[in-house]
Structure 1
């Protein structure tokens, strides 16, 4: 059978249309696949870009934090360098410790008399305090410590053999990995405040159970011992206006002595009692007051009653000159107030006894 040419043409046209549709559909699917792949690739690229940005921000924050830490450390070091306290700078790797001239002078040394190394530094630490110092430094420089600040109180050995108490503060500097490479610090002399605490504790303990007349011997004995003085006494006014005083307790050369009465004229006690103010002579006492022959220094303080009257005074004398370390004003105020209260109580009891009459005799 023969196919009509027209039908054959239609068949070819239909086949061509089918092939064209198939090609278009295939191209569409391919384009959609390419678009989907491109979108996934774009999403991946966007996520990578976001991660890179986040890493960049984190790096910037880390760099800023490190810069601020370095700036803070530099400000801390600069502040210490400007301080009047003794500064030290420890290079941990080399063991070199730069001791400032001020630090050395605190202990009585010239700048060239102490080497700038770890051995010279630690040699000035009291032997009993070295283990605690080593422990405090180790804790400040431990890897787990975020803030490597160091603070420790200890004793340092002065050139003259005495002991100075210092509060030592420092800051550790670390590399990016956290390992410490340097510590800078300063030592503040706290010996005077330590001395005040020592005197306060000694006199408070020594007078804790003493009342009335027993308080005064306990007070002068423990003041003299705590302060390392040769003589201490407390006296009350024997007349008014005051020209004479009588001792309530007198401690000299390591023991208590009998009480006595003396005239104020020609003594440093006169200004204390009559003016109601403290008087301190560091040296040259006997030259100013010939009656004080054999004594070099003097400190006297008035005992003031609750109504403002001067009841008497507390005084110290010493065979050699004295420095300002004797001036522990906060301690004296406490015990002068206690002495005034005891003296007022004793005087009130004496007035009551004097006013009481024997049986059957009217009071005058």
Structure 2
């Protein structure tokens, strides 16, 4: 039997090998440990996904989506690649497209943070901005109908990620905790954009037989929160959010409600206040969804404290805060959207730091 790769698969094999080399070159992200005076006996850990080469948690997802497209025979040499994204996934996908020498188109809402748009352009991608009421996924499918490969993060995230292992984020967290005082955390907290991360973590915890519970941190009224209550795959959000990447307007195909143990809804003002609080305690800026995660962690820590429980809570630092310099970190922009986080930040700081 010949071991020669058929010519029509040769480029795909080369591309897959390049993605494997990239994964080997990328060190795992840090797990930052913090103790806070307001919650004695509870260890907080922050998985710094902003440390990836493309600056966000979506680096893992983008690699998985490219591998999934290649291994399913959907992506060919020289073919354009397209996806719908509010920014961070598009940046990561543009980076991988450049690595493989492929044209990339990001279909993004026009309200996307300007720094994210600039990052895609700097990586050689093209941005097509859609106004309110225009479905970005539908427009991406139209571009795919013209010959591009649709990576479809919202439709494929939960199946493209290997939740049993292969250094997925859940496996990474558990391995990094092995020598810590609480190697099996009480909670892991993440948001839900595509649903891929929550599905991966929830499945992995069950696969390993771990007692750790999974909480989704969701902007108030987001579709995951609405859908989780009734396990409704047709759920729609009751409110919009200023936090990009999570709080989806409708339930996505990758939302796996049954692997999630709790959902904590966070008001936008508290997400933004917690985002700014992260900068003061960690020394660098992270985005709004990281603030949502911190606020949910504090909610869970208060419940643990009330029940006399000790242990650890793990959450994700999802992307770099510099991407939001003109939006969530801009006081004038917040004021124009009716948000003043000063009081909430003081309250959260007092609770966390016991000041």
Same fold, TM-score > 0.5, yes or no: no
Task: Indicate the structure with greater strand content.
Answer: 1
- Greater RCO, 1 or 2 (C-alpha within 8 Å, sep 6+): 2
Q: TM-score, normalised by structure 2?
A: 0.24
Length-normalised TM-score, structure 1: 0.24
